[in-house]
Amino acid sequence: GKNEYDLLVIGGGSGGLACAKEAAQFGRKVAVLDYVEPSPQGTTWGLGGTCVNVGCIPKKLMHQAALLGGALKDAHHYGWNISQPVHHSWSVMAQGVQNYVKSLNWGHRVQLQEKKVKYFNIKGSFSDPHTVRGLTKAGKETVVTADNIVIATGGRPKHPTHVAGALEYGITSDDLFWLKESPGKTLASFILDVSLECAGFLTGIGLDTTVMMRSMPLRGFDQASTEYLTSPYLANKLKDRFDYFYLLKKKCCRAPDTKTLNLETIGVKTNSETGKIIVDASEATSVPHIYAVGDVTEGRPELTPTAIAAGKLLAQRLFGQSSELMDYDNVPTTVFTPLEYGCVGLSEEAAVQRHGSDNIEVYHAYYRPLEFTVAERDATQCYMKMVCLREREQRILGLHFIGPNAGEVIQGFALGIKCGATYPQMMKTVGIHPTCAEEVTKLHITKRSGLDATVTGC
C-alpha cells in the first residue's frame, strides 16, 4: 500500500520487541520506535524497555545480591569461617548489574538488525491513524507511516506531585538501579510489589530502609500471603519499626506512558481513571489497525511474559493467518521480596467472590525449609495455600507459596493448573525429597477444619 511499513511498533520493551520480531519472521516490513524520556533525576537507558533496564532484570540481580548476604550470615553454621561483619559495596554490585543490562541493550539492537527490523530512537506521536512523527535527540524530524500500528509504550513511575520535595529529592526504581553510589538510608513509599522488592534488597545489602504504606500492601494479591510478606518482614528485617502513614487516596504508583502520543486526536480510547489504553481480546484499540500490548493496556497483568506472548500472538494473527488469542488466565507470577511469594491462579478472596466460600476448600500449611534449620533461620512466614473447588473433581483454582525460590517452585505447578489439575491428582503426585515444593503435594489441612497447619518432620 501507500504506507511505508506493514507494521510500526511504538515502544521497544518486552511486548513491542516480541511483536516486531515475530512480524519480521513473516517477511514483513517492520519498524520500532523506542525512546526513554529521562526521569526527573535525569536517568535514562537503552533499548529493551522497563524489564531489561529498570525492572525484572536489575531487580532480580540485586535481590540475588541480598540473598548472598543472607547466605554469608548463615555460612558459619555450616562450617564456613567467614569473618563478620561482611561489607557490601553498592558500586561494585551496580557496575556488574549495569554492565549486564548494557549487554542486553546491545543484544536487542543486534537482534533487530538481524531480523531486518528498522529501529528509530525517537519519541513518536500520532499525526493521523497511520502516521507517527517524532524528533531524534538531535532535533531532526522523522515521519513513519504504517498499515498497522502497535502501541507498547509501557508505564513509568508516577511522581506524587502534591508532596513537597518529592520531585526534587525522591527517586524511583527508574533511578535506583542506575545509581553509581549507594542510596544510603532509604524510605520506600507507595507500596507496589516493586517497592517492596526494592526495600527488601536494600535491607538485605545492609542499608537502613523503612517502608511506608497506607493500608494494605500488594492490593489484588492473596491477602493472607501478603500479610506474611510484610508484617513479620518489617518487624524482623526492618529494625522492628512499622509505621503506618495515611498518605494518599490514589494507590496508583505507575502510570501508562501515553501522554505524548496524541491519542485523543486519532480517537484511541483510554480508561479515564488509569489512562491505560482500552483493548479487546485481540489487543485491538478503538481505532482499526491500531493495537496495544503490555503495561500500557487496561486490565492486563503488568508482566513481561504476558506482554511478550500477547505481542507474538498479535503478530501471528496480523500476518500469520492465526486466530489464537492471548489467554490471560492462570498467569503465574512471583514477588521477589527477601522471602519470595509465588502464585498462580485465584487468590482466596477472588475464589470466594467467584464461587462462594461454601463452594471452595482452602488447604494450607506452615512449613520449614530444611536449609533454615541448621542456619537457625526464622521460618514462621514460610506458608503455602491451595484453593480448590469443593465439588466433583475438586479442580485447583489457585496456588500460593511463600518461601525461598518461590518462582522456581510455582513455575512447574502453573502447567498443572493450566491443564485443569485437581486436588486428587495433586495428592497422587509424588513429592521430591527433601524440598520445599514437595509440601505442595502433601497439603491436606483445611482452613475450615481450624486444625494446626504446621508441617511436622519427615
Partner 1 sequence: MAQRLALQRLLSFPTRGPLASHGRAFGTSAGRRSTFNVQDGSDFQDRVVNSPKPVVVDFHAQWCGPCKILGPRLEKLVAKLEGKVLMAKVDIDDHTDLAIEYEVSAVPTVLAMKNGDIVDKFVGIKDEDQLEAFLKKLIGA
Least spacing, CB of residue 230 vs partner 1, in Å: 35
Q: Which residue has the cell 482466596?
A: 348
Least spacing, CB of residue 115 vs partner 1, in Å: 12
Instruction: Give 110 or 432: the residue with its C-beta nearer to partner 1.
Output: 110
| CB-CB contact of 113 with 17 (8 Å) | no
The piece of 99-107, 351-359, 381-389, 416-424 that touches partner 1 (CB under 8 A) is 99-107
For partner 1, the binding residues in 36-55 under the rule CB under 8 A are 46
Least spacing, CB of residue 64 vs partner 1, in Å: 17
| CB-CB contact of 279 with 292 (8 Å) | yes
Residue of 109, 158, 269, 447 that binds partner 1 (CB under 8 A) = 109
Supply the DSSP string of 316-330, one letter for each residue. Answer: HHHHS---PPP--TT
CA-wise closest residue to 202 among 59, 380, 7? 59
The piece of 12-20, 108-116, 359-367, 423-431 that touches partner 1 (CB under 8 A) is 108-116
Query: What does the alpha-carbon distance between residue 356 and residue 349 come to, in Å, rounded to a whole number?
Result: 10
Under the binding rule (CB under 8 A), the answer on residue 114 touching partner 1 is yes
Residue of 78, 80, 100, 245 that binds partner 1 (CB under 8 A) = 100
Instruction: Give 44 or 449: the residue with its C-beta nearer to partner 1.
Output: 44
Query: What does the alpha-carbon distance between residue 162 and residue 168 come to, in Å, rounded to a whole number?
Result: 12
Under the binding rule (CB under 8 A), the answer on residue 142 touching partner 1 is no
Query: What does the alpha-carbon distance between residue 429 and residue 359 come to, in Å, rounded to a whole number?
Result: 24
Active site members: 433
Which residue pairs from 83-90 have beta carbons closer than 8 angstroms and sit at least 24 positions apart in sequence?
A: 87/206, 88/205, 88/206, 90/179, 90/181, 90/182, 90/183, 90/205
**30-33 and 118-120 as β-strands: parallel, antiparallel, unpaired?**
parallel
CA-wise closest residue to 129 among 287, 19, 297? 287
Residue of 81, 83, 84, 103 that binds partner 1 (CB under 8 A) = 103
Least spacing, CB of residue 1 vs partner 1, in Å: 28
Instruction: Give 102 or 390: the residue with its C-beta nearer to partner 1.
Output: 102
Instruction: Give 24 or 445: the residue with its C-beta nearer to partner 1.
Output: 24
Residue of 99, 161, 272, 321 that binds partner 1 (CB under 8 A) = 99
Q: Give contact residues for partner 1 (rule: CB under 8 A).
A: 46, 99-100, 102-103, 105-106, 109-110, 113-114
